[in-house]
Structure 1
Amino acid sequence: MSSTVHAPRGVLADLGPIQQLRAGSLGRRIPQLLVGLVLYGVSLGLMVRGALGLAPWDVLHSGFIRHVPMTLGQAVILFSFVVLLLWIPLREKPGIGTVANAFLVGLSADVTLALLGEPGAWSARIALMVGGVVLNGLATALYIGSQLGRGPRDGLMTGLARRTGLSLRLVRTVLEVSVVVIGLLLGGVLGVGTVLYALAIGPLAQVMLPWVVVQLPVRAGSAGNPVGRDPAG
């Protein structure tokens, strides 16, 4: 017979979609999720306006929209659902955060781009690039810390890592290099911001996640994923 206990501080509980909703603290978790996803889209918009390089997946998005009549945010939404189709053979389970991620990031990115012009001064562009990366780290920590489901691209990485037995770091590297290459072939935007993002986003999210992770109950004897550790080894 299993019992329910609280996970130690700094632990991400491994819960299914229904368990995520039943775990409580929704009055904090849902607003935190929404704020995190909106800020994620804002951070994307900041990096675009900085024009010094985009995050790996956004290199792909920016290349794709050069060939189709879509906004960047619409491309983010489209590719989110394409990636979710790849969850099916991997048997990944989406949460409400997964679906919200698919919509809100793209929508908030488009709003940010509509409100923010591209500056001419290098100092302003650098500030937008650096600010976008830091804000993305905070946004990532907020939405992951709400414990309401992985984003589509994160779920693809963790699902592939689990199914192949490869480390999460290796799977992430292969995926991100692949989408960058495809994005470049399509005419996507690559620059110093891409390198900065690749080097900084992991450490930033690792530092910030313990600040905002919501402690949830887990079943006694089950293992959560300690914050900042690679769940795939």
Structure 2
Amino acid sequence: MNAKKSGQIVARFIVYLTGLLVMSLGIVLLIVADLGATPWDVLHVGLYYQLGLTIGSWSVIVGIVILTVASLISKEFPKMGAFLNMVLIGVFIDLYLLLPFMQTPSSLAGQIVMFLFGIIIYCYGMGIYISAQFGAGPRDSLMIALTSKTGWKVGRVRSCMEVVVLMIGWQLGGPVFWGTVIIGLAIGPLAGKALPQCQMATDRFLASLKKQVYTTIDKEKDRGVS
């Protein structure tokens, strides 16, 4: 029994970590495309411009504040995955930005392609890590808490959050361009589509893995009897 439970935890953690890596890549692609970052990263970059440190560091610091607010709204203590999210996302962002080939494309067409891939990768990375149910990260914990509190759809809540954060980041001097507006409007609907799709895929993966474990155990029992 413990072996089965442990196996599921390991599998879920792999899904969780994969989601964080994918989402971080999407964030960095959007930043590097230089057509406008996500509203949250407009805030992070704005804070970086004003106060120093690194973009990843501000992602962690802002995450702590947001997670605290989400916990107060939901009246629930955050899961360990939420704390891991704060640290890992910030670390992954800084590491991706250090890669020598992570450069802004020389043509506008290349920038647009990178930008579009960044949006899609970001949303599905978010869906993948949330589907592992290790605990949503600070920003997504707030999204889920507000969705539960208001009864609004995920897309509507996410869109409202993005617009508010965008305005704050803009006032701090963060990189706002036409791409930022598109992201602010598109993230909510795309997240609303990506979350259930990723949850369904992860549930199928975990169910298949669990079935394999049971099959292996049954075979071992048959061998023991024979």
Range of TM-score over shorter length: 0.7 to 0.9
Provide the TM-score with structure 2 as the length reference: 0.76
Residues 33-59 of structure 1 show CA distances to partners (whole Å, capped at 9, x for unaligned) of: 111112211211111110011222112
Change (3 A) 1:79 1:124: same
Partner of 2:94: 110
Task: Give distance in 2, aligned partners of 1:61 and 1:191.
Answer: 15
Partner of 2:78: 94
Task: Give distance in 2, aligned partners of 1:59 and 1:113.
Answer: 16
Query: Is 2:132 the partner of 1:149?
Result: no
Residues 69-117 of structure 1 show CA distances to partners (whole Å, capped at 9, x for unaligned) of: 1211111111001112213422133122211110111111111111112
Aligned length: 195
- What does 1:113-124 correspond to in 2, within 5 Å? 113-115=97-99, 116-124=102-110
Task: Give distance in 2, aligned partners of 1:110 and 1:215.
Answer: 31
Change (3 A) 1:190 1:181: same
How far off its partner does 1:166 sit?
5.0
Change (3 A) 1:142 1:92: same
Partner of 1:174: 160
Q: Structure 2: give runs of 5+ residues left out of the alignment.
A: 208-226
Partner of 2:186: 199
Contact 2:71 2:78 in 1 (8 A): no
Partner of 1:127: 113
Partner of 1:211: 201
How far off its partner does 1:27 sit?
2.1
> Which residue type is aligned with residue 109 of structure 1?
I
Change (3 A) 1:204 1:167: closer
Task: Give distance in 2, aligned partners of 1:54 and 1:172.
Answer: 16
Task: Give distance in 1, aligned partners of 2:23 and 2:131.
Answer: 14
SS in 1 for 2:148: helix
> Which residue type is aligned with residue 200 of structure 2?
P
How much is the aligned-residue C-alpha RMSD, in angstroms?
A: 2.3
Task: Give distance in 2, aligned partners of 1:132 and 1:167.
Answer: 24
Query: Is 2:123 the partner of 1:137?
Result: yes
Contact 2:44 2:174 in 1 (8 A): yes
Structure richer in helix, relative to its length: 2
Provide the TM-score with structure 1 as the length reference: 0.74
Partner of 2:221: none
Partner of 1:76: 59
Partner of 1:189: 175
- Percent identity of equivalent pairs: 29
> Could you tell which deviates more after superposition, 57-66 or 155-164?
155-164
Task: Give distance in 2, aligned partners of 1:192 and 1:212.
Answer: 34
> Which residue type is aligned with residue 26 of structure 1?
I
Residues 127-166 of structure 1 show CA distances to partners (whole Å, capped at 9, x for unaligned) of: 2211111211221121011111111111112223434555
SS in 2 for 1:25: helix
Task: Give distance in 1, aligned partners of 2:14 and 2:202.
Answer: 12
Partner of 1:61: 44
> Which residue type is aligned with residue 157 of structure 1?
M
Residues 188-213 of structure 1 show CA distances to partners (whole Å, capped at 9, x for unaligned) of: 12233334433253234444442234
> Could you tell which deviates more after superposition, 130-139 or 158-167?
158-167
Task: Give distance in 1, aligned partners of 2:6 and 2:69.
Answer: 27
Task: Give distance in 2, aligned partners of 1:153 and 1:28.
Answer: 24
Larger radius of gyration: 2
